[in-house]
Amino acid sequence: MGKQHSYKTKGTCSPKINFEIDDQDRVHNVKFFGGCSGNTGGLSALVEGLPVDEVVKRLDGIQCRNGTSCPDQLAKAIKKVKSET
């Protein structure tokens, strides 16, 4: 479907996120490792198929603890991938 990416998180219970970005800049198959499965599973379902810019706009800066959160870390992961392309 899209190119697979992996991001090592900082400051969250989930140490890693895998996700794909397709050729239309849409997010797919988000998988958090560890963390609260209800929250991360819900987050993954909610962002499925959304444009990367929309995901970043909605999630960037959300805080839980340590000045970040799983949603914020996903936004950071997407921004990192986009800055490298």
- pLDDT tens digits along 5-46: 999 999 999 999 999 999 999 999 999 999 999 999 999 999
Q: Name the residue among 74, 1, 4, 80 with its Cα closest to residue 44.
A: 74
Work out how many domains the chain is built from and give that number: 1
Domain CATH number, residue 42: 3.30.390
Confidence of residue 85 (pLDDT cuts 50, 70, 90): confident
Q: Are 72 and 44 in contact (CB under 8 A)?
A: no
Q: Is 22 exposed, middle or buried (0-12, 13-18, 19+ CB in 10 A)?
A: middle
Which residue range is the domain that position 76 belongs to? Answer: 3-83
- pLDDT tens digits along 65-76: 899 999 999 999
What is the distance between the alpha carbons of residues 73 and 65, in angstroms, rounded to a whole number? Answer: 12
